[in-house]
Structure 1
């Protein structure tokens, strides 16, 4: 009798131990959804402390999961960032350096193909923008090129192009849910949801037009940057003052025959036209010039940008709600990221490209049930080359030898984060010049406190910033007395990373760079 009683206790204890083990470690193959927006600035996300707007659905991921405060890109431009997502490699290694007509090489080791080999059903829905059709995906339905905001075309398997009525973010969400409902439920799934928003020309869903009309948005403190001591910053062509176009970007006196606006049906056009006719009337009635004109343009830019982000955030909420309602949420990792950061008037700019913080940093949030404690924040410098190897580890797969990134999964658990060696410096290299924004190509290094960069092909100059004293990167201290040792140390680390990442082109430029 006693033996039976103790045997029952032992069985119970073993069962409790097994349950605890299951609670401490998630299933070996969770589903993974990677929501990938375009040009969405962390400054426009309330989870990152934005005072400009609220993003309640993106914020859900921060509240129910974690947020990386120093997620950085390795080349701040759209197509190359997508190539890095798929390959886990720098642009010079994956072959996709610029937004041009380069065909993305799909024969190299890819995140999607590796996950297929790990037993996953894979899908890409929405914007891809790599001049190649998806590879390593069991299902895809993608926008051709940049795609359109209203009544867009989609290319689906095998190569069928179809035009759909509606707003692009709504359609991408609908097609993503369609895949989830029709998928093979015997397999875990991996899906990239590629949003067009918030890419130029910043066109909101019709229901969101004018969402910020009653909000006076103050210009950033460095909006009227004079670019003193920064030759390449002065050379660029991406200012709200001189570069932003009244007709195409700010929708003053719209040409409805243009490719941007010629897709409306009569009812859509009526709503859109009524709103932007009002914008045009406001512009002409004020007869603005000088700073008043520049700040009017800024207000209009921010109104459309933030309204487009509002449309995006609502659709992220729709997808999260579906996961809850379908019972998928508990075994699905959800990641939200943008292809890079974006300028919201800082330095007087829009767009990206520069190594400066607003375009170097990108939002990155992850909800990972059973692993990421709700409300977590991570300070470590994580790069977009890390995304692919991390998701492969989450899936229980083998990371291909050629991937240059590191899995950040150990950082997600407090008990392993403290024991995990992690990078102290991040390497960056941007190439596209002179079109479309005349930003000199450059490479550089960022540490927790300092940043050094060299601009070439006409830039031919160094820049050095103390991010602790000068977080807005307004004072180039390169060459100042007292920075000699710091500069030598940062240059040595820069060269070491070029060698580690096999950037031979950069090493050649560095060897002949101006002192």
Structure 2
């Protein structure tokens, strides 16, 4: 009898220890907060040192974790970037090559894998892809690009208009979902802000202060593209020539008519009317109280402005509104970080801040993205995870959005599927592994289309960049980023770079082979004629 009792006590103890171990294992799995803003240039985060604005809350992630200085996108476009994030596969593999192509939600994604391993998941904010998001216990997503004021969300399949400013609403929904989650399970929430996407409408609390700022002009604001090929010269993203007067610069349609200003895009005036028309009467009064005097001053100055002065005026208008929308994003990051700390979630939660791609803030006279040039290719990337990542770390490694899915699966203790093309950088940021790729691969397909950036692909290494523009042209560009960080001189045909050109050409072929890309893929995604 004593033996039987001993046996049962031992079995119960073993079972208890097993349950405790399982519970501890569950608790040890990190929570994940993945923050992606839209079109947030790394230059517009003060931790990167460009002196354009102040983002104290995003900077906290740099101080308390790691800041990557050369993170990049594989395809600098909104929806394709999100597809790469979800799948860990290049655009030509996951099928979302541009903003028009359909995304197949039935294919696997990292959120589905997290769900299968006990995570509760949510997607809140912008996704810019058709269909009900698959892999999420909860979704509240904007329709297409979404709206800044009183936006429409599709919440678990049901459309609903919410009152308020989109950046604040997205933040509050994220916090509310975390607050009401199952506390016994780890969670992953994709917190996707619309801002600072075009057309830029800052929160009312920021408009007065940000419209009063004068921003330093980039050295290449008046770039004439001498020494470069057809692609840069024919792109339609010049602030003076191609930016919308009403929708972008907030010149009222009536004032456009009075001054004889023509629409570049046929939705210019409609964008202004629709965007501001979403405001309540009180919101519109507060808006007009700030913007009307700006426009009256412009009305008086316009007749005597040179084209150079007009470009400078439009640059300031652009930057003021762009940076104003960034301010609310930073507010939201601060509110979330404070919530995690106050609720004991700080230590075991991975917080990632990034953007879907880079963005031009007047460099080369441009706005928008799409090119493989640095301002468009590079993304901000800051990660805090106190358990593994030392504070204040700077990483110069060539990571890409291709790597997010495998990295997050790695942190969650889930085996990374062999068909994922990205690599986990978990060991890299923890200082346990110094080996990493020596080149990143880029593709761009959305041509002919808005902004008319030609189709291209290429590689970037530590020092050099090789780009091939194709389809209606056949042009190559090679840049020495150490000597020419602004990419003003194409040295592809420079004899002194002959050996570098050969090495980079071989490297490009090897990288394309590694990722199973080919001329056949390029041809498969050409537009039908």
One fold, TM greater than 0.5? yes
Contact 2:441 2:459 in 1 (8 A): yes
- The C-alpha deviation readout for 1:64-108, integer Å capped at 9, x for no partner, is 1111111011100100000000000000000000011x3211111
Post-superposition CA distance 1:21-63 (Å, at most 9, x none): xxxx996411000001000000010111121111000000001
**For 1:265 and 1:160, how far apart are their aligned partners in 2?**
23
Determine whether 1:69 maps to 2:78: no
SS of equivalent to 2:67: strand
Residues 482-501 of structure 1 mapped to structure 2, 5 A cutoff: 482-501=496-515
SS at match of 1:215: coil
> Between Structure 1 and Structure 2, how many residues are aligned?
480
Deviation (angstroms), 1:489: 0.9
The equivalent residue for 2:282 is 267
Identify which of 220, 223, 226 aligns with 2:221: 223
Give the corresponding residue for 1:86: 86
Out of 452, 471, 486, the residue aligned to residue 466 of structure 2 is: 452
1:93 alignment partner, SS class: helix
**Separation of aligned partners in 1, 2:28 and 2:502:** 46
State the 1:218 CA deviation: 2.1
Structure 2 CA distance for aligned equivalents of residues 87 and 200 of structure 1: 26
Asked whether 1:325 is paired with 2:342, we answer yes
Partner residue, 2:205? 207
- Shift, 1:261, TM fit: 2.0
Q: Structure 1 residue 438 and structure 2 residue 439: aligned?
A: no
Q: Give the C-alpha shift of residue 508 in structure 1.
A: 6.5
Residues in 1 aligned to 2:26 and 2:474: alpha-carbon distance in whole angstroms: 51
Cα gap change, 1:108 to 1:385, in 2 (>3 Å): same
CA contact (8 A) 1:28 1:396 kept: no
Tell me if structure 2 keeps the 8 A contact 1:499–1:507.
Answer: no
Residue of structure 1 equivalent to 2:300:
285
Which 10-residue stretch deviates more, 436-445 or 273-282? 273-282
Q: CA deviation at 1:229?
A: 2.6
Q: Does 1:172 pair with 2:189?
A: no
The aligned residue for residue 527 of structure 2 is none
**Among residues 368, 393, 406, which one is paired with 1:376 in the alignment?**
393
Of the three residues 406, 411, 417, the one matched with 2:433 is: 417
Query: Moved runs in structure 1, 4+ residues, more than 3 A?
Result: 25-28, 254-257, 505-509
For residues 73 and 520 of structure 2, the distance between their equivalents in structure 1, rounded to whole angstroms, comes to: 17
Structure 2's unaligned 5+ residue stretches are: 1-24, 254-268, 524-529
- Cross-structure match for 1:185: 183
User: Alpha-carbon deviations, 1:337-383, whole Å to 9, x = none?
Assistant: 00000000000000000100001000000001111101011111001
- CA change 1:459–1:218 in 2 (3 A) is farther
Q: Which residue of 1 aligns with 2:248?
A: 249
RMSD (Å), alpha carbons: 1.6
User: Which of residues 407, 415, 422 in structure 2 aligns to 1:398?
Assistant: 415
- Structure 1 unaligned segments of length 5 or more: list them: 1-24, 510-515
CA distance in 2, matches of 1:422, 1:164: 45
What secondary structure sits across from 2:476 in the alignment? strand
Verify the 8 A CA contact 1:210 1:304 in the aligned structure 2.
Answer: no
Q: Is the CA contact 2:27–2:184 (under 8 Å) kept in the aligned structure 1?
A: no
1:481 and 2:495 matched: yes
Match of 1:151 in 2: 150
